[in-house]
């Protein structure tokens, strides 16, 4: 095995040390310390000479400083605030021109790409790259962020790099944390910058949190003072994010009283703009700090009470703190805001469902739109469609059907409005016959749950006659509680027809993908190929057939469209069908994490978890 050049150098160094005798390393360390002190003294003299009355002395000192490179960086940072204006001016000039190798040979390729031409970018782009470095997996960007903390001339960006690194997810394993702490300390070195101090303390925190609490209190207090006394050296957002990080540290250590005091300091930094108000409110709600929305509403009444969603956040905080009566009163105030603004209320209703899972308030918003729509048929049709979709997911199928029923009458009178509304909702045309089929499907599910099997069968067959490719109707037919031979044969034949139809289209699409060289055609067919694989997997895993093939098809769909929550939901069902409950739970959790508002997926996850628990109990 050949020896790498750096290892050869290391071996030669060790050999030389051995030949010099056992006490040499200690003398070498002493020599290095003496050399370092001499260099520090020289740098201090050169800094003072930048303000010399003699032009030649100033120029010579500046030239010598430039030759020392990054060794003089920290001293120049401090010299920017020198009492001598000429020293401060030249220090700033030297800092701006100091060459820094932002990417080094040992950096991973992803890091090198982000750091390419970093020094030539403006502040906004540099901050964007800092944030991207922090999102790289396995802490790949950590050492590069330390480099920015240490050598970024812009002190605000230096601090933002430190905060991004601190927010980066740290391993739960102590040994891993110790290793990361060691790398941070090595990369920061002896830097005296404020952000370097943060990271040095953060490295200590990774190893043991409690002993660092006093130092974090000093750090946050100092940064608040900096904001007041020298605001050009920080930003409100920097102080706010530093305080937030401190809150999470205290929260993890269950220092509840200190958490509340720190959050109050954060609120004092909030500025009255919508984006920041939402940012702080949502951050607080995630940490169960229910008092924050109320404090912000009191502090910024003009901004708060003109935004429905902010008022709903206040209602949500009251609900989650246990005051349901106050929550409902506040929600009514939000509902009454901006009357006759249908588009705004529709957006609020959707966000209450999708983002906050406040289904009752979402329903109230949709019903108000329906009541006030008047002759605005498209507005009413969209609201009815969205409300019916939500009610169906909440297993309130009869109410969903009743909500859609008037849409049939509107569609018969105004087909253009119907077409436009459903193009907006689902990206496809819809007829009144399609709507009736959807209503029949919903009612069939309702009657099936009520045990009225004959009504369920009739309605499902009517729905399928119109919507012949709807596999959810086929699945519902397969689940009908009728074990009669004639019925089962009919359903089995129907299932076989649908499986064969999907398989036939899958083969056709696969042939197109392997033979067609047109990229546009391939991309279009690849998407449909993924969809058909998912359809096959969903149909079979919920009925009967080749479950292993269903798993393979579902996996294929996710290869083609990675991270699709709908396809992850299907794969969870496929693993459940083959009895692999752990993988079923794994993929179902991924789906639920992406679309937490989908109650059908949550119910499926509970089924998988309950089945795994029952299986484990029987095994024991």
How many domains does the chain fold into? 2
Q: In the listed set 64, 81, 97, which residue is the last one of a domain according to the structure?
A: 97
Q: pLDDT value at position 50?
A: 74
Q: pLDDT (tens digit, 9 = 90+) per residue, 284-340?
A: 999 899 999 999 999 999 999 999 999 999 999 999 999 999 999 999 999 999 988
Query: b/e string for 178-213 if b means 16 or more Cβ within 10 A?
Result: eebbeebeebbeebebbbbbbbbbbbbbbeeeeebb
Residue 407: which of 446, 433, 372 has the closest Cα? 433
pLDDT confidence tier of residue 17, bands split at 50, 70 and 90: very low
Query: How far apart, in whole angstroms, are the C-alpha atoms of residue 251 and residue 253?
Result: 5
Q: pLDDT value at position 21?
A: 36
Q: How many CB atoms lie within 10 A of CB 355?
A: 12
Q: Please compute the mean of the pLDDT values over residues 128-148 and round it to a whole number.
A: 89
Helix/strand/coil for 242: helix
Q: pLDDT value at position 36?
A: 58
Q: Please compute the mean of the pLDDT values over residues 184-193 and round it to a whole number.
A: 87
> What is the pLDDT of the chain when averaged over all its residues?
88
Does residue 518 have a pLDDT over 80? no
Q: pLDDT (tens digit, 9 = 90+) per residue, 553-576?
A: 999 999 999 999 999 999 999 999
Q: pLDDT value at position 96?
A: 66
In a domain, 313, yes or no: no
Question: The domain spanning residue 605 has which CATH number?
Answer: 1.25.40.10
In a domain, 211, yes or no: no
Q: pLDDT (tens digit, 9 = 90+) per residue, 528-558?
A: 999 999 999 999 999 999 999 999 999 999 9
**Do 407 and 422 touch, CB atoms closer than 8 A?**
no
pLDDT confidence tier of residue 16, bands split at 50, 70 and 90: very low
| Ranges 91-100, 211-220, 382-391, 545-554: which has the least confidence | 91-100
Query: How far apart, in whole angstroms, are the C-alpha atoms of residue 457 and residue 441?
Result: 10
In a domain, 581, yes or no: yes
How many helical (H) and strand (E) elements, i.e. helices and strands, does the chain have? 33, 0
Query: How far apart, in whole angstroms, are the C-alpha atoms of residue 177 and residue 331?
Result: 45
| Ranges 46-55, 419-428, 499-508: which has the least confidence | 46-55
Q: pLDDT (tens digit, 9 = 90+) per residue, 574-617?
A: 999 999 999 999 999 999 999 999 999 999 999 999 999 999 99
Does residue 58 have a pLDDT over 90? no
In a domain, 53, yes or no: yes
- Residues of the chain above pLDDT 70, percent: 89
pLDDT confidence tier of residue 241, bands split at 50, 70 and 90: very high
Residue 307: which of 318, 296, 322, 319 has the closest Cα? 296
Which structural domain, as residue segments, surrounds residue 23? Answer: 5-97
Does residue 99 have a pLDDT over 50? yes
Q: pLDDT value at position 362?
A: 98
In a domain, 169, yes or no: no
Q: In the listed set 44, 71, 97, which residue is the last one of a domain according to the structure?
A: 97
495 DSSP 8-state letter? H
Query: How far apart, in whole angstroms, are the C-alpha atoms of residue 388 and residue 426?
Result: 13
Q: Please compute the mean of the pLDDT values over residues 473-487 and round it to a whole number.
A: 93
Residue 277: how many CA atoms within 13 Å on its side-chain side? Answer: 24
Q: Please compute the mean of the pLDDT values over residues 20-46 and round it to a whole number.
A: 56
Query: How far apart, in whole angstroms, are the C-alpha atoms of residue 3 and residue 9?
Result: 10
| Whole-number Cα distances in Å, 389 to 329, 404, 570 | 26, 10, 19
In a domain, 575, yes or no: yes
In a domain, 261, yes or no: no
Q: In the listed set 97, 117, 150, which residue is the last one of a domain according to the structure?
A: 97
Query: b/e string for 118-139 if b means 16 or more Cβ within 10 A?
Result: beeeeeeebbebbeebbebeeb
Q: How many CB atoms lie within 10 A of CB 488?
A: 13
In a domain, 601, yes or no: yes
Q: Between these two residues, 451 and 65, which has the higher pLDDT value?
A: 451
Query: How far apart, in whole angstroms, are the C-alpha atoms of residue 592 and residue 565?
Result: 7
**Do 190 and 143 touch, CB atoms closer than 8 A?**
no
Query: How far apart, in whole angstroms, are the C-alpha atoms of residue 51 and residue 44?
Result: 12
For residue 28, the Cα-to-chain-centroid distance in whole angstroms is: 50
Helix/strand/coil for 144: helix
pTM > 0.75? yes
Q: Between these two residues, 486 and 66, which has the higher pLDDT value?
A: 486
């Amino acid at each position: 095995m050949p020896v790498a050049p750096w290892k050869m150098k290391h071996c030669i160094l060790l050999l030389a040390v051995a030949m010099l005798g056992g006490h040499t390393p200690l003398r070498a360390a002493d020599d290095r310390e003496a050399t370092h002190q001499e260099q520090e003294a020289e740098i201090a003299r050169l800094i003072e000479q930048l303000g010399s009355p003699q032009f030649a002395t100033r120029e010579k000192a500046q030239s010598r400083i430039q030759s020392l490179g990054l060794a003089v960086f920290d001293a120049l940072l401090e010299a920017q605030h020198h009492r001598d204006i000429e020293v401060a001016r030249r220090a700033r000039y030297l800092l701006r021109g100091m060459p820094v190798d932002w990417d080094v040979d040992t950096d991973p390729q992803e890091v090198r790409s982000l750091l390419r031409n970093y020094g030539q970018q403006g502040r906004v782009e540099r901050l964007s790259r800092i944030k991207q470095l922090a999102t790289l997996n396995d802490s790949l960007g950590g050492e590069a962020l330390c480099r920015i903390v240490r050598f970024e001339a812009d002190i605000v960006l230096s601090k933002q790099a430190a905060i991004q690194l601190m927010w980066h997810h740290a391993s739960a394993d102590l040994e891993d944390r110790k290793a990361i702490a060691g790398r941070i300390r090595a990369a920061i070195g002896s830097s005296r910058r404020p952000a370097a101090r943060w990271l040095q303390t953060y490295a200590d925190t990774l190893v043991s949190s409690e002993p660092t609490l006093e130092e974090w209190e000093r750090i946050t207090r100092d940064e608040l003072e900096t904001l007041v006394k020298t605001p050009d050296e920080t930003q409100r957002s920097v102080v706010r994010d530093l305080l937030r990080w401190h809150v999470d540290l205290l929260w993890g250590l269950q220092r509840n009283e200190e958490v509340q005091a720190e959050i109050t300091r954060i609120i004092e930094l909030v500025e009255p703009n919508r984006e920041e108000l939402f940012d702080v409110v949502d951050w607080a709600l995630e940490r169960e700090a229910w008092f924050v929305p109320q404090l912000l509403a009191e502090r910024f009444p003009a901004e708060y009470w003109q935004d429905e969603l902010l008022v709903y956040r206040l209602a949500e905080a009251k609900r989650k703190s246990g005051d349901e009566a106050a929550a409902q009163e506040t929600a009514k105030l939000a509902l009454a805001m901006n009357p006759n603004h249908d588009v705004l209320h529709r957006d609020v209703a959707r966000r209450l469902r999708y983002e906050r899972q406040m289904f009752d308030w979402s329903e109230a918003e949709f019903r108000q739109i329906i009541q006030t729509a008047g002759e605005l048929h498209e507005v009413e049709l969209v609201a009815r469609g969205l409300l019916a979709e939500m009610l169906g997911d909440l297993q309130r199928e009869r109410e969903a059907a009743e909500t859609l029923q008037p849409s049939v009458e509107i569609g018969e009178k105004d087909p253009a409005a119907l077409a436009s509304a459903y193009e907006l909702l689902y990206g496809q045309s819809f007829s009144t016959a399609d709507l009736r089929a959807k209503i029949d499907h919903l009612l069939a599910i309702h009657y099936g749950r009520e045990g009225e099997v004959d009504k369920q069968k009739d309605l499902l067959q009517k729905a399928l006659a119109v919507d012949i490719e709807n596999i959810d109707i086929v699945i519902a037919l397969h689940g009908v509680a009728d074990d009669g031979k004639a019925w089962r044969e009919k359903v089995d034949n129907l299932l076989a027809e649908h499986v064969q139809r999907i398989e036939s289209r899958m083969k056709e699409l696969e042939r197109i993908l392997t033979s067609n060289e047109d990229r546009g055609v391939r991309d279009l067919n690849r998407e449909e190929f993924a969809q058909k694989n998912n359809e096959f997997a969903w149909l079979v895993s919920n009925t009967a057939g080749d479950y292993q093939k269903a798993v393979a098809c579902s996996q294929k769909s996710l290869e083609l469209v990675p991270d699709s929550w709908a396809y992850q939901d299907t794969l969870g069902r496929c693993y459940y069908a083959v009895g692999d409950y752990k993988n079923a739970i794994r993929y179902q959790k991924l789906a639920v994490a992406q679309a937490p508002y989908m109650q059908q997926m949550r119910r499926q996850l509970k089924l998988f978890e309950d089945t795994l628990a029952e299986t484990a109990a029987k095994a024991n």
